Structure 1
Amino acid sequence: MRMHNADENCGIAQAALVLGDWWNVLVLREVARGHVRFDALAAEIGLSRKVLTERLGRLVAHGVLRRSLYQRRPVRHEYLLTDAGAALVPLLVAMQDWGDRWVLGDGSLTAAAAEDGAEHARVRALAGSRVPEDLLLPGVSGPEPVVAPDAAATVLFAYPGTGIDWGAIPGAAGCTLENRLFRDAWPDFLRAGVKVRGISTQLVHEQQEFARAEEIPYPLLSDADHRLAAALRLPSFRGADRLRHKRLILVVDAGRTVRHTLFPVTDIPHAVEESLRLATDCARTP
């Protein structure tokens, strides 16, 4: 790529040089989703082996991916994000948010979603997919697995954030109510062998203050680095100076497979009750 001399000191131009074209962006998107082996990448993106090999080589050369040997005969590698590559994940989520709002949507700022829209279709398509095994998120007690390893099922509920005046943003209010309802239903979840995880892009200390004040018994995990959002392509919106999760609920089985999705969540009490019912059935089904 030929660059003007003035671009040598421009961070935007230099970042564009690394990203190169839309195939590179899609490769990074898939690696962030947990598709780290060559055949999986080729299948998800639809690239020829020759072109994919070229793109992976360039991203490794630029230092955003690294090769990790997982098989010696024949030699095969996984492609993992470096620290520089992980730093691009929030950019990918921001691009998704922009595309959802301004290309696939009508430009409205909303924490809700149309049931016939692209975000709804993307969340619905999560059923049958797996949450990446090595995905840990910061919690009050340190990094924790998104899916509880000792549970028959896990309910993940993503929410915009507590203690925030959302003003006129449709669908954003109700996070404290949602947490209180999950808190009150917590004994029923435990009896069913189900664990609960509340996830937002708030910082750990913000979640800790809320959990202490509201006596929240389940972990609140921080996706401030957008790793879960990128892995599952979760819908988001920008509010209170940060990208926020739109409210949704996932029921995940012991094998980390998403069994049920609830989105958009408009009736919060009903959604909490429905997640308990679905998770209980999931825990009973081998």
Structure 2
Amino acid sequence: MSTRRVPDDACGIAQAAAVVGDWWSLLVLREIARGHHRFDRLADELGLSRKVLSERLRTLTDRNVLERRRYQDRPPRYEYVLTEQGLGLMPVLVSLQDWADRWLLGDGTLTGRAADGGAEARRVAALAGEAVPEGLRLPGTDGRDHDPLPPRAGATVLFAYPATGVPGIPADLAGTPVPGSAGCTLESRRFRAAWPRFDAEGIAVRGVSTQSPQEQAAFAEAEHLPFPLLSDAQLHLTAALRLPTFRAGQSLRIKRLILVVGPDRVIRHTIFPVTDIPAAVSQALALATETRERVRMV
């Protein structure tokens, strides 16, 4: 039987491990971040016994990582949502994923690229048919918080990118570029040039990166972008969709990808990896137009 070590009382790693340092606890948090809040859905997604799931949910609720909310009175049923403390664990989940993608599922290379048939590509491809969770709010370049999916759009194109340059800061001060991370300014300009066609079709465009809202706002103003850029600096969207990342300096950056989402919040198409930016923008327009037309026919 293990005994508590007094030095661990002041060790943040030990204290965190006591709360979430368990295989099933981490996977429960992963699924709740994905938008699966109800007991039966969690059990189905995880293939976990009801007894073990109940134990993990009780522990995470007792430790204020999750909040238990009633959604039905007769019989009483509850769903589980992340508290502010729980949301603070999202960067931890993404960091674990990033480490495994690089060192366990990859060859250890630090890169902003992805192999066509690799684990990251399979994970992104599997997003087709999944829903973007409700309740997400990301700061935009207009100073307001946004749902990543505008409610009245016939379809939405979300393009995620590592990081643009910041006006006024020389590129050589931003650190050594990671292979595969260049091209973000070009991508935004291509979407800007195609914006009239997206807008005419009733298709919303949103750019997403982990840059700060201030950095994004400076770039959007300098480039006269007609659509908002959204900041996922807290990695809430990245964790919810398990988007592929890489570490540049001290920051996690999203690898370049494009999602086409219907008005029902369901992801209909994914483009990843993005190797030809102009072709990917044209493909996104065609896929979003097709999505909008199919929705109208239903």
Secondary structure in 1 matching 2:214: helix
Same amino acid, percent of matched pairs? 59
* Alpha carbons 1:166, 1:173 under 8 Å: kept: no
**One-letter identity of the residue aligned with 1:237:** F
Bigger mean CA deviation after superposition, 31-40 or 132-141: 132-141
Q: How far 1:2 sits from its partner (Å)?
A: 3.3
Paired residue for 1:159?
Answer: 161
Equivalent residues in 2 for 1:70-85, closer than 5 Å? 70-85=71-86
Paired residue for 1:40?
Answer: 41
Paired residue for 1:149?
Answer: 151
Q: How far 1:134 sits from its partner (Å)?
A: 1.5
Paired residue for 1:139?
Answer: 140
* Alpha carbons 1:92, 1:230 under 8 Å: kept: yes
One of 243, 249, 253 as aligned partner of 2:262:
253
Paired residue for 2:275?
Answer: 266
Secondary structure in 2 matching 1:230: helix
Structure 1 Cα separation of the partners of residues 217 and 294 of structure 2? 34
Paired residue for 1:243?
Answer: 252
Structure 1 residue 180 corresponds to structure 2 residue 189: yes
Structure 2 Cα separation of the partners of residues 206 and 195 of structure 1? 22
Paired residue for 1:189?
Answer: 198
Paired residue for 1:104?
Answer: 105
Q: Deviations over 1:171-205 (max 9, x none)?
A: 10000000000001000001111000000000001
Structure 2 Cα separation of the partners of residues 168 and 180 of structure 1? 20
Structure 2 Cα separation of the partners of residues 203 and 168 of structure 1? 18
**Cα separation, partners in 2 of 1:155 and 1:172, compared to 1, 3 Å:** same
Secondary structure in 2 matching 1:69: strand
Q: List structure 1 segments (4+ residues) > 3 angstroms apart after TM superposition.
A: 164-168
Q: How far 1:283 sits from its partner (Å)?
A: 1.0
One of 213, 220, 224 as aligned partner of 1:211:
220
Bigger mean CA deviation after superposition, 131-140 or 195-204: 131-140
Structure 1 Cα separation of the partners of residues 262 and 277 of structure 2? 22
Q: How far 1:166 sits from its partner (Å)?
A: 6.5
Q: How far 1:168 sits from its partner (Å)?
A: 4.9
Structure 1: stretches of 5+ with no match in the other structure:
none
Structure 1 Cα separation of the partners of residues 116 and 21 of structure 2? 34
The TM-score with structure 2 as length reference comes to 0.94
Secondary structure in 2 matching 1:285: helix
* Alpha carbons 1:123, 1:263 under 8 Å: kept: yes
Structure 1 Cα separation of the partners of residues 250 and 162 of structure 2? 12
Structure 2 Cα separation of the partners of residues 142 and 131 of structure 1? 20
Q: How far 1:167 sits from its partner (Å)?
A: 3.7
Q: How far 1:20 sits from its partner (Å)?
A: 3.4
* Alpha carbons 1:166, 1:172 under 8 Å: kept: no
**Cα separation, partners in 2 of 1:20 and 1:169, compared to 1, 3 Å:** closer
Paired residue for 1:121?
Answer: 122
**One-letter identity of the residue aligned with 1:159:** Y
Q: Deviations over 1:113-155 (max 9, x none)?
A: 0111100000000000100121111113311011111100000
Q: Deviations over 1:22-53 (max 9, x none)?
A: 10000011111111110111111111001100
What value does the CA root-mean-square deviation take over the aligned residues? Answer: 1.1
**One-letter identity of the residue aligned with 1:99:** A
Structure 1 Cα separation of the partners of residues 23 and 219 of structure 2? 40
**One-letter identity of the residue aligned with 1:158:** A
Structure 1 residue 230 corresponds to structure 2 residue 239: yes
**One-letter identity of the residue aligned with 1:69:** R
Structure 2: stretches of 5+ with no match in the other structure:
166-170
